[in-house]
Amino acid sequence: MGSDGDKLEIPAHDENFFLPDNTVKNLDRIKKLAKRHPINVLVAGKQGCGKSTMVRQFASVNNRPLATFQIGILSEPGQLFGEHRLKGGETFYQQFLFPKAIQTPGCVIHLEEINRPEHPKALNMLFSVLSDDRSVWTDELGHIKVADGVVFFATLNEGDEFVGTEMLDAALRDRFYVSLLDYLPSDIETKVLNLKAGVDEANALTIVNIANKLRNNSQEPMIISTRHTLMIAEMVGVGASVKEAFINSLQLSNDILESVLLSLHVEMRIKGAGNGKEYRLY
Ligand SMILES: Nc1ncnc2c1ncn2[C@@H]1O[C@H](COP(=O)(O)OP(=O)(O)OP(=O)(O)O)[C@@H](O)[C@H]1O
Ligand SMILES: [Mg+2]
């Protein structure tokens, strides 16, 4: 959660982050709209598909500070704002990073797992900040107003996309733009493994092809995120064979992997290359 001492910084830019064209365009429009008033964007997509990275990139590309808050762990309404502490027998109020972030012009605020607070009341004060009046009253800090140009990105975790948005108060949901992210098409994922994990293109392609076979296995499809193919590629980068890297990264029987490898021997090219042309670096 952080305390007042936490700095708000512009995050580093990821030079190898790809997004679909239309997502990039949408983010540019969000930036323009944020000049008029604060904006809320809901980012939904499966685990490890790049949600957090996209939020970070938005801040980085637009030279804005970023602050991230785990909403999923909140258990009381005022918890984001600060807490009473004891020092030398006296109590004092320690302000946290959240009130500072929302009062910082242009700040990008990432709210993780907004659909899963431990206590539903924990969202109450957050709701005031996200809805039209963009302000909240706290006994300790008084009246807090959201600064100009602030952009809130709320992310939802895997499989919760719809449950999650349903769970948000309807009036609040109504105030969010939505951005849906998906896993990358094969050719772009291959490029990402090559660029980020430093494996050569041939190995990157093999990893993506095997991952896709497992993902598209009609009997037992596996969810394998970009995060995970990157982990596998990094393992190969430090000397593992592709097979060893898969076995040591996923719960996968040797038999299944062998049969995938066999079937790929006869078709070593990009499978279902998809719409990679519509992607670009962000
Ligand atoms: N489109 C992409 N281009 C380049 N790298 C990507 C892309 N998508 C994901 N990655 C990489 O995969 C890893 C996981 O991404 P990230 O943490 O942003 O996913 P997430 O959707 O926030 O995951 P979670 O659901 O677990 O919060 C990061 O190392 C990220 O850089
Ligand atoms: Mg994330």
**Domain boundaries, given as residue ranges, for the chain:** 18-180, 186-273
Label residue 2 by pLDDT band (50, 70, 90).
Answer: very low
Q: Is 10 exposed, middle or buried (0-12, 13-18, 19+ CB in 10 A)?
A: middle
Statement: residue 187 has pLDDT above 90: yes
What's the pLDDT at 41? 96
- Record the pTM: 0.89
- Asked if residue 100 has its Cβ within 6 Å of ligand 1, the reply is no
Q: Which of 16, 27, 52 gets mutated to test ligand 1 (max ligand atoms within 8 A of its CB)?
A: 52
Label residue 76 by pLDDT band (50, 70, 90).
Answer: confident
Q: For residue 46, which atom of ligand 1 is closest to its CA?
A: 25
Structure tokens at 270: 């990009």
CATH ID of 18-180, from 3.40.50.300, 3.40.50.280, 3.90.1150.10, 3.40.50.920: 3.40.50.300
Query: Residue of the nearest CA to atom 8 in ligand 1?
Result: 50
- In the reported structure, the alpha carbon of residue 266 is separated from the centroid of ligand 1 by a whole-number distance in angstroms of 31
Q: Which of 15, 11, 278, 47 is nearest to 155 (CA)?
A: 47
Rounded to 5 degrees, what angle do the CA atoms 35, 40, 43 make? 125
Averaged pLDDT for residues 5-20: 91
Label residue 1 by pLDDT band (50, 70, 90).
Answer: very low
What's the pLDDT at 154? 93
Averaged pLDDT for residues 42-60: 94
What's the pLDDT at 156? 80
